[in-house]
Amino acid sequence: MKRIISIQDLSCIGKCSQGVALPVLSAMGIECAVLPTALLSTHTAFDGFVSRDLTDCIRPILAHWKTMGLRFDAIYTGYLASEAQIDLVEEIFDDFGRAGNLFFVDPVMADNGSLYPGFSAAFPGKMRELCRLADIITPNVTEACLLTGLEYRTSHDEAFVRALLEGLLTLGAKTAIVTGIRTDTSHMGVAAMGTDGKLTLHYTDYIPAVFYGTGDLFASTCAGALTLGLPASDAISLAADQVVRTIRATTADPEAAWYGVNFEQTLPDLSARLREYLLKEEA
Ligand code: PXL
């Protein structure tokens, strides 16, 4: 069985981060080890959230793990609570990575043109360092702009998308994937580029609804699919289609919570779609 370590926060309320990664990766048949970076009463969209940075706990956890000789097939990072944690993650790459491992960095820090509450203006600069070490990075458009220095926009032509991806690749990641691309009013896109400079775009329907946790659902699904050996194009379409299916299910539920997508409802679809992709890969 493949084993991923998921390094991101645990928000008690609010469907995001470890609360999404653990069930999603489990439904994909992958063992998910969790390393919580912070414990939050709720995710940061709620007024008055309290947060405890867990950096001090992470060091002894890593020291214990080192005595066990643990290894992971993939190291997946999401919301990191402080710049110090980025240094720690770099150490984890050194200590627990092995040849052929996947280093998957979702540089969670911003959306809709702004940094999430609690992050300093210096944080994106530090996040660039982590992107340098990654095989794959999956920023949304806001995060990609903060990482590359390009000005944030809400509509995106091909020249802008290309400039974003090329800028991200100069940071050193081997493949850049940008979510939330809007080239027209009825579609949403995920754009990707590897070191060969070839741009690919996967389009899905645009559903006019905003939910938290969609980026985490995309990243967890994509990281899982790549860990299972699917090619990047399949990992992207599996993950992007899963996000759209889940937003649809959420908007159809009159009791859906505003603070997160109903990813629980669509986990059976994810397992079924994944099986189809894996069978196609074997054929
Ligand atoms: O979904 C990204 C995310 C992760 N973790 C925390 C957040 C958010 C987005 O708001 O607040 C704590």
Kindly report the average pLDDT of the chain as a whole number.
96
What's the CATH number where 208 sits?
Answer: 3.40.1190.20
The pLDDT of 170-187, averaged and rounded, is 95
In the structure, what pLDDT confidence band is assigned to residue 88 with cuts at 50, 70 and 90?
very high
Which residue has the least CA distance to atom 10 on ligand 1?
44
Residues touching ligand 1 (Cβ under 6 Å) are 9, 11, 16-17, 40, 43-45, 79, 108, 116, 212-213, 215-216
Decide: 131 and 148 in contact? Cβ < 8 Å: no
The pLDDT of 156-167, averaged and rounded, is 97
The pLDDT of 40-50, averaged and rounded, is 96
Rounded-to-integer distance, Cα 221 and Cα 216, Å: 8
Q: Could you tell me if residue 220 is left (phi over 0), alpha (psi between -120 and 50 degrees) or otherwise beta?
A: alpha
CB atoms within 10 A of CB 201: 15
Q: Which pLDDT belongs to residue 210?
A: 86
Decide: 117 and 88 in contact? Cβ < 8 Å: no
pLDDT of 99 above 90: no
Which residue has the least CA distance to atom 7 on ligand 1?
43
10 Å CB burial of residue 197 (0-12, 13-18, 19+) is exposed
CA-215 nearest atom, ligand 1: 1
The pLDDT of 87-98, averaged and rounded, is 91
CA-108 nearest atom, ligand 1: 2
Q: Which pLDDT belongs to residue 269?
A: 98
Rounded-to-integer distance, Cα 252 and Cα 268, Å: 17
Domain that holds residue 112: 3-282
**Which tens digits make up the pLDDT trace of 53-72?**
999 999 999 999 999 989 89
Q: How many domains does the chain divide into?
A: 1
CB atoms within 10 A of CB 3: 15
Q: Which pLDDT belongs to residue 109?
A: 98
Q: Which pLDDT belongs to residue 98?
A: 80
Rounded-to-integer distance, Cα 176 and Cα 136, Å: 6
CA-51 nearest atom, ligand 1: 12
The pLDDT of 34-56, averaged and rounded, is 96
The pLDDT of 65-80, averaged and rounded, is 95
The pLDDT of 253-276, averaged and rounded, is 96
The pLDDT of 105-113, averaged and rounded, is 97
Ligand 1 pocket test: which of 20, 37, 44 has the largest number of ligand atoms within 8 Å of its C-beta? Answer: 44
Q: What is the Å distance from ligand 1's center to 17 Cα?
A: 7
**Which tens digits make up the pLDDT trace of 215-245?**
999 999 999 999 999 999 999 999 999 999 9
pLDDT of 183 above 90: no
pLDDT of 283 above 90: no
Q: Which pLDDT belongs to residue 155?
A: 93
Q: Which pLDDT belongs to residue 208?
A: 87
Place of tokens 């309290």: 50
Rounded-to-integer distance, Cα 141 and Cα 169, Å: 15
pLDDT of 193 above 90: yes
